[in-house]
Structure 1
Amino acid sequence: MRRVFVWLHRYVGLALATFLFIEGVTGALIAFRADLQGVFDPRLVAAKPAPDARRLDLATLAKRAEALEPKEHAAYFAENSEDRATIRMYGRRNPETGARYPDEPFFVFLNPYTGERLAAAEPTTATARFLAAVMPFVLALHVNLAIGETGLWILFVVALCWTIDCFVGFYLTLPVTLEKFWERWKPAWLVKWRGSFYRINFDLHRAGGLWLWLMLLVFAWSSVQLTDRLDVYDWIMSRVLPYRGGSEDSALFPQRESSAPFTLDWKEAQAAGERLMDEEAVRQGFKVVRPHSLNRFEESRLYNYTVVTDRPFPQDQMATVFFDADTGAFHARMYASDGKIGDLLTSWLRGLHMARDPMDFAIYRLFMIVVGLGVATLSVTGVYIWWKKRSARQRARDSSTELRSARDALAIPGERS
């Protein structure tokens, strides 16, 4: 059985190595994506506001983005930080034909205090300048290998295989017997730095995998959840833990697209969202800390309004209400977690994977860099170990063939069978 697991670990690891190297390096970089993007493209960082400056409300920012891009409408807030408001734009419908203007979706970056345009960018290329395009490309490479839906499918398969291989790799580090277990297992946790180059690589692969094992499993399984195209994550979680899951959220978005404009404009939508959220706050017993986003869903004729609450992670820290874009009537509510252990675990997995609350602090982001580079190192050392062993086997076969040939050449003709 152990030989089967060795074979699985070897060839699954080889198949995943390139993808995990890419994900590890890009993941290490995007741990500080906002900071690096500001370095590469300073235009995306708003000047420090005056001490008494007040942020513009969400509706004003959305209307400002639409005024800057007359053939586009604001769809949602991709980011709403101290430095900038990032709004995703989509083509409007031509009022005469009802067809959309032929524009690709892109982002508009605004100063959240003045509404001034900082920049406009396509999702994966912030500007035509090379340095400004670095971090958007790194993010796209990490999210979908920069090839869209096909990349998501590939990374979904990679994440599933990686999750399984985490357990296979851990098993292969264990001693074959329980006798003197820790004494036999202890060397697997250590690196013999004075050994040969091969031995150092082997120890780095084995010991690195053990020391980082829990985080490797966290990133592997959370990657399944983030790339899942077949509801595999929800299916497994719902069978092992109490879990509401994301599949139940599909009812939030009924298909009722129409070419008619929304009855509620952005200001009216914000007022409706604030009213419904105040009602939710009273009903659920939380306080609104600050607005987070105001988004529109044209295909469902809905708005949603999201706020940050004072509830501790993960119970309802982010609260969202959905409401009709024509009447302002309540449609649905969605919180980060409803208290079920499976949803709690999922919230933690997402927080750990993306350095979101409660892990949104610099020390953890530095640790993410260590883990990302560790994943890349495990990929490189794994390929090197396979190559060295394959070369050794090849040399042994060649030596055996040469030995047989020499014996045949020296044999007496009459003795040959």
Structure 2
Amino acid sequence: MPQRKASLRGALVIAHRLAGLTLAAFLVVAGMTGSLLVWNTELDAALNPHWLRTTGSYTSAQPMDALALRDVVQARHPQALAMRVPLAQEPGHAMVFLLRPLPGTGALENDQVFVDPYSGRILGERRWGDIGQTWRNLMPFIYRLHYSLAWGAVGTWLLGLVSLLWMIDSVVGFCLTLPATSNNAQRPWLGRWARAWKLDLHNRWRATFDLHRAGGLWLWPALFVLAWSSFALNLPQWHDPMVRAFGTQQPATTDLPRRAKPLWQPALDWKAAHLQARQLMQEQAALRGFAVQAESSLAYDPSRGQYRYDVRSSLDIKDRGGSTRLFLDGDTGVLVATWWPTGAAGGDTFITWMSNLHMASVGGMAYRLAITLVGAGVTVLSVTGVLIWLRKRSAKRKQ
């Protein structure tokens, strides 16, 4: 039996080493970019204050109607569709509109427009995520790196697989910190395990090893949540069926049927759709017993011919914004589908919590600071793991 346990532990060591070396570069990128993205809004505004911040001269005035601001953007870009209207206005912040090219017009030079909500003045434009526009797009590019390595769908798949391997390797690494059982051990098992949680800085080699082992233990719950949520976000087509084995999920809104031909000019204009969406949301709130707290956005999808209306409600858990959502037909205004972040299905409530914990959009400033440190910790664990492997390889070569 002791030999079998020793061989199992040896196999786990090899598996942890191979997985760590495979994941190291990916996790360094994910950890560093993730630490920055916790402060995405603030950093983007610091880099582009002339776009994302409004002047103080309008603080005493009322902002313009969001749909009127959309008309300004649409008139400025007749070759595009202003596809999303932000309905929540934060004082001192610009309104951000997204553009989509109309058929036959070719690629847009810019697809994100910043507007002063008090004057309707266009503050600036950029092509989201295009690092060729230099520092103007630094934070969107960092987001692309974090989510897909800036490789599009291929990068999203790759990081999803990395996240799955990371989640499994986190369990293996935790098991390797546990002391081996022995009939001849002089100290209690818990007493021997306590050494794994401590950091010795007197010796450089020992400090590197302890940073890797103790750091992984102290950060383990957060690391496992980040690995799991990364897998859920990047590969929902694999993750969600696993969730449905243990809980229920609402019908996926990504599966809503597409039209044979996109509907670019629906019978309901934006104002009529907004009024209808408000009424439908109030009816749903009364029917299901939740409270609508604030509007979030109204968007239109020509491929489905549907408007999407998001609000913040008592079903939301995030600190800002909302994802309580319904869809209505662009021609008839009939309710097509709904999606509730919590309370409707256990599987969706679980995924909502996991994704918001990953994005540090719950828990306020304290949790954001914690996730920033965890992101840095991911980088430290990856680097120390490689250093440990290099030292051991060098020692074997000398022998």
- Whether TM-score is above 0.5 comes out as yes
Matched, 1:290 2:294: yes
Question: Cα deviation per residue 1:223-282 (whole Å; 9 max; x = unaligned)?
Answer: 0111006x211122222x21316x633443434433552222211211111121121222
Match of 1:85 in 2: 95
Matched, 1:185 2:188: no
Q: Partners in 1 of 2:173 and 2:372 — Cα distance?
A: 22
Matched AA of 2:153: E
Deviation at 1:288, TM superposition (A): 2.1
The DSSP-based 3-state class of the residue aligned with 2:129 is: coil
Matches within 5 A, 1:214-293: 214-228=221-235, 231-239=237-245, 241-244=246-249, 248-258=252-262, 261-293=265-297
Deviation at 1:284, TM superposition (A): 2.1
Matched, 1:381 2:384: yes
Going from structure 1 to structure 2, the CA distance change for 1:78 and 1:72 (only over 3 Å counts) comes to same
Aligned-pair Cα RMSD in Å: 2.3
The DSSP-based 3-state class of the residue aligned with 2:240 is: helix
The DSSP-based 3-state class of the residue aligned with 1:29 is: helix
Match of 1:364 in 2: 367
Comparing 282-291 with 54-63, greater Cα deviation is found at: 54-63
Matched AA of 1:287: A
In 2, are the aligned partners of 1:257 and 1:301 still within 8 Å (CA)? no
Matches within 5 A, 1:22-41: 22-41=29-48
Q: Partners in 2 of 1:74 and 1:279 — Cα distance?
A: 28
Going from structure 1 to structure 2, the CA distance change for 1:260 and 1:344 (only over 3 Å counts) comes to closer
Question: Cα deviation per residue 1:140-189 (whole Å; 9 max; x = unaligned)?
Answer: 11111112112111101111100101100000000111761111101110
Runs of 4+ in 1 over 6 A off after TM superposition: none
Matched, 1:326 2:331: yes
Deviation at 1:311, TM superposition (A): 4.3
Going from structure 1 to structure 2, the CA distance change for 1:341 and 1:79 (only over 3 Å counts) comes to same
Comparing 111-120 with 273-282, greater Cα deviation is found at: 111-120
Q: Partners in 1 of 2:97 and 2:293 — Cα distance?
A: 21
Match of 2:360 in 1: 355
In 2, are the aligned partners of 1:224 and 1:233 still within 8 Å (CA)? yes
Higher alpha-carbon Rg? 1
Q: Partners in 1 of 2:202 and 2:14 — Cα distance?
A: 29
Q: Partners in 2 of 1:387 and 1:158 — Cα distance?
A: 22
Match of 1:204 in 2: 211
Comparing 78-87 with 206-215, greater Cα deviation is found at: 78-87
Q: Partners in 2 of 1:321 and 1:249 — Cα distance?
A: 9
Match of 2:5 in 1: none
Matched AA of 1:113: Y
Deviation at 1:63, TM superposition (A): 2.3
Q: Partners in 2 of 1:15 and 1:278 — Cα distance?
A: 51
Match of 1:169 in 2: 173
In 2, are the aligned partners of 1:190 and 1:203 still within 8 Å (CA)? yes
Q: Partners in 2 of 1:367 and 1:281 — Cα distance?
A: 35
Comparing 11-20 with 57-66, greater Cα deviation is found at: 57-66
1:144 to 148, 170, 173: 148
The DSSP-based 3-state class of the residue aligned with 2:165 is: helix
In 2, are the aligned partners of 1:121 and 1:127 still within 8 Å (CA)? no
Match of 2:311 in 1: 307
2:120 to 106, 115, 119: 115
In 1, are the aligned partners of 2:294 and 2:312 still within 8 Å (CA)? yes
Matched AA of 1:274: R
Going from structure 1 to structure 2, the CA distance change for 1:165 and 1:391 (only over 3 Å counts) comes to same
Match of 2:61 in 1: 53
Deviation at 1:217, TM superposition (A): 0.5
Matched AA of 1:170: F
Match of 1:124 in 2: 129
In 1, are the aligned partners of 2:285 and 2:291 still within 8 Å (CA)? yes
TM superposition score normalised by structure 1: 0.86
Going from structure 1 to structure 2, the CA distance change for 1:131 and 1:105 (only over 3 Å counts) comes to closer
Question: Cα deviation per residue 1:33-54 (whole Å; 9 max; x = unaligned)?
Answer: 1111111111222224645433
Q: Partners in 1 of 2:168 and 2:109 — Cα distance?
A: 38
The DSSP-based 3-state class of the residue aligned with 1:289 is: strand
Unaligned runs of 5+ in 1: 94-98, 397-417
Matched, 1:213 2:220: yes
Matched AA of 1:159: S
Q: Partners in 2 of 1:368 and 1:57 — Cα distance?
A: 36
> How many residues get paired?
383
The DSSP-based 3-state class of the residue aligned with 2:252 is: helix
Unaligned runs of 5+ in 2: 1-7
Q: Partners in 1 of 2:305 and 2:66 — Cα distance?
A: 19
In 2, are the aligned partners of 1:80 and 1:86 still within 8 Å (CA)? no
The DSSP-based 3-state class of the residue aligned with 1:186 is: helix
Q: Partners in 2 of 1:9 and 1:36 — Cα distance?
A: 36
Deviation at 1:219, TM superposition (A): 0.4
Comparing 74-83 with 342-351, greater Cα deviation is found at: 74-83
Comparing 180-189 with 252-261, greater Cα deviation is found at: 252-261
Q: Partners in 1 of 2:264 and 2:112 — Cα distance?
A: 24
Q: Partners in 2 of 1:157 and 1:323 — Cα distance?
A: 35
Deviation at 1:203, TM superposition (A): 0.2
